[in-house]
Copies of this chain bind each other. A is one copy, B any other.
Amino acid sequence: MPPPAVLVVGSVAFDSIETPFGARREVVGGAATYFSLAASYFARVSVVAAVGEDFGPSQMAVLRRRDIDVRGLAVLPGPTFRWSGRYSYDLNSRETLDTRLGVLERFDPKIPEEARESAFLFLGNIDPDLQRSVLSQVRGPRLVGCDTMNFWIEGKLESLKKTLAGVDLLVINDSEARELAKEPNLVKAAGIIRALGPKILIVKRGEFGAAAFGAASPFAVPALLLDEVVDPTGAGDSFAGGLVGYLASQCGDGAIDDNLMRRAIAMGSVMASFTVQSFGVEGLLDLSRQQIDERYAQFLALSRLEGG
Contact = CB atoms under 8 A, between A and B. Distances in A.
Interface of A: 89-91, 178, 184-188, 191, 205, 207-209, 211, 217-223, 225-229, 259, 262-263, 266-267, 293, 296, 298-308
A219 B225 CA distance: 9
27 contacts: A90-B184, A185-B227, A185-B228, A186-B207, A187-B227, A208-B209, A209-B220, A217-B301, A217-B302, A218-B302, A219-B302, A219-B303, A220-B222, A220-B223, A220-B302, A221-B305, A222-B222, A262-B304, A262-B306, A263-B305, A263-B308, A266-B305, A296-B308, A300-B305, A300-B307, A303-B305, A304-B305
A303 B187 CA distance: 16
Q: Which of A207, A220, A298, A308 has most B Cβ within 10 Å?
A: A308
A207 B107 CA distance: 39
Contacts of A225: 186-187, 211, 218, 220
Contacts of A293: 308
Contacts of A259: 306
A156 to B, nearest CB: 24
A169 B217 CA distance: 33
A227 to B, nearest CB: 4
A224 to B, nearest CB: 8
Q: Which of A191, A205, A293 has most B Cβ within 10 Å?
A: A205
Given A218-B302, A301-B217, A308 B209 contact: no
A223 to B, nearest CB: 8
Give the top 10 A-B pairs by smallest Cβ distance, nearest first: A220-B222, A90-B184, A208-B208, A187-B227, A218-B225, A187-B225, A217-B301, A263-B308, A262-B305, A220-B302
A188 B95 CA distance: 25
Contact of A184 (B91, B188, B209, B305): B91
Given A205-B208, A208-B209, A208-B222, 4 more contacts: A219-B304, A221-B222, A262-B304, A266-B305
Nearest to A89: B184
Nearest to A189: B227
Contact of A185 (B191, B223, B229): B229
A187 B226 contact: yes
Contacts of A220: 209, 222-223, 225, 302-303
A216 to B, nearest CB: 9
Contacts of A306: 259, 262-263
Nearest to A184: B90
A205 B220 CA distance: 14
A221 B185 contact: no
Nearest to A175: B90
A72 to B, nearest CB: 30
A184 B89 CA distance: 8
A239 to B, nearest CB: 15
